[in-house]
Amino acid sequence: MNGQDESGFPAEQGESGERVIGRLWERNYDGVTRGLLEALPFRDDWDCLDLGAGTGSMARWMAQRAQRGSVLAVDVDTSLMDQDGPQNLTVKQMDLRAEDFVEGSFDLILARAVFSQLPDPDASLARAARWLAPGGWLLVEDFCFMPAAHSPTETGRAVIDAYVQTFEAHGVDAYWGRRAPALIARAGLVEMGKQVRPLGPGQGDTENALMRARLAYQGAPLVDNGLVTAEQLAEFVASLDDPGAQDIATLQISVWAQRPA
């Protein structure tokens, strides 16, 4: 070990900021995702697809569950994924804007924070629904940010607005998660379930640690571009554990549904 990084999270020797953020993402989100998948009638012969697999943590978990099946983990950048996973796990670098799958290929598709980052997220979700086999399940998890102007603190208003502006400048739809249930229904999927989780300052230790890491490694451009001052950024990070500064800055929206058999 190499002590702690700026987020207060134990960092491995020589570990990059992206890997620290990736491990904190796993800690903050994987438990919720696993719980939702465990509630499905998950069979050990399923063929699974993990869209935007990131570090590959959920792909590895699914590969352990689907020991007689297969898992394909795809991402536009696979550098954070362990290439030496289980034999039934395949990692592929793939741009979802340019590539497609045969209809009916998968029994389970997981898409976390993927569609909101694509140029045409609504059409991309409809395509993914067609990749399901009859009786197959789609689990979509994405986000809907709350208006920064409603944050209870001045620094919260400034930093959250800067963060959302940066997302949108990179083509991310910061509100797309709100549309996911309606779009999944329009795609013809049934047996829908929904779950909403509040996120933001003070919404849990792992959430605070992830925000600290993001701002430690990715906060400089917010200052360099004049969106916030260094003092505002430091004050926001310092207030994360203050109950009087807690905020629901975004909602994690999880939606799962089945292709009719």
Is 205 part of any domain?
no
Whether residue 227 contacts residue 165, with contact meaning beta carbons closer than 8 Å, is answered with yes
**pLDDT reported for residue 186:** 98
Q: Give just the sign of the alpha carbon dihedral 94, 97, 102, 106.
A: positive
Is 93 part of any domain?
yes
Is 12 part of any domain?
no
What is the extent of the structural domain holding 192? Answer: 17-147+171-200+253-258
The pLDDT-based confidence of 66 (bands split at 50, 70, 90) is very high
Query: How many domains does one find in the chain?
Result: 1
CATH of the domain at 74: 3.40.50.150
Model confidence, pTM: 0.93
Is 213 part of any domain?
no
Which of 260, 259, 184, 252 shows the shortest CA–CA distance to 35? 252
Is 245 part of any domain?
no
| pLDDT tens track for 207-242 | 999 999 999 998 999 999 999 999 999 999 999 999
The pLDDT-based confidence of 13 (bands split at 50, 70, 90) is very low
Residue 259: half-sphere exposure toward Cβ, Cα within 13 Å: 21
| pLDDT tens track for 110-148 | 999 999 999 999 999 999 999 999 999 999 999 999 999
